[in-house]
Amino acid sequence: MNKLGDGNVLIAEFMGVKLVTLDDIRANQVNKIASAEGNLKEDLKYHVSWDWLMPVVKAIEIHHQGVPRQLINTSMYDQLTEVYFAVVDYIVEVNREPTIQEKLAHYYELDLNNGIELQMSHRDWIEEIAKVIADPKTYLREFEEEYKEYKEMLNA
């Protein structure tokens, strides 16, 4: 699949569009290529149709609660492909798994940004560092579990 096709699939997944194959269509004896059962990857038109792409831009603005940096200048673009690739860049960034450094910063700094004082003393930080040095794999596994619970609590 080409880069446009990959981007179309990424956008379709972001929008919750079900994708089907010709085998799916044959198995269900559906006559239409784009039907209630879903769309063929080859028939996605986000890269060539403003009618397909603009609902995605609107969904991104809702998801992001505003205009993300990837789309900030799209009003100046005169070509659909530029907006299309800005949309793809945004979705790639949203789907990207954060690095351990980003997770640690989020976990330990998020409350500071919300005006809540982080209750870790210098001694607490030294103990955390000692745990990492003593057994990095166990620390990482335990941190990942704790971070997942933390994210779920924030999203509840």
Report yes or no: 84 and 44 within 8 Å, Cβ to Cβ.
Answer: no
Tens-digit pLDDT string for the chain (156 aa): 456 678 999 999 999 988 887 777 667 665 554 455 678 888 899 999 999 998 998 898 887 777 777 776 666 556 888 889 889 988 998 888 888 877 877 777 655 555 555 666 778 878 888 988 999 999 989 988 988 888 888 776
Specify whether 70 is located in the same domain as 8.
yes
The domain boundary residue, chosen from 80, 95, 110 = 95
The domain boundary residue, chosen from 64, 95, 126 = 95
Specify whether 140 is located in the same domain as 82.
no
**d(Cα 34, Cα 16) in Å, to the nearest integer?**
15
Residue corresponding to tokens 């809540």: 116
Report yes or no: 1 and 9 within 8 Å, Cβ to Cβ.
Answer: yes
The domain boundary residue, chosen from 95, 126, 147 = 95
Specify whether 19 is located in the same domain as 90.
yes
**d(Cα 47, Cα 156) in Å, to the nearest integer?**
35
**d(Cα 154, Cα 56) in Å, to the nearest integer?**
26
* 42 sits in which H/E element: none
Domain that holds residue 121: 100-155
Report yes or no: 68 and 91 within 8 Å, Cβ to Cβ.
Answer: no
- Per the structure, the count of domains in the chain is 2
Length of the chain: 156
Dihedrals phi, psi of 38, to nearest 5 degrees: 140, -175
Specify whether 48 is located in the same domain as 107.
no
Specify whether 113 is located in the same domain as 147.
yes
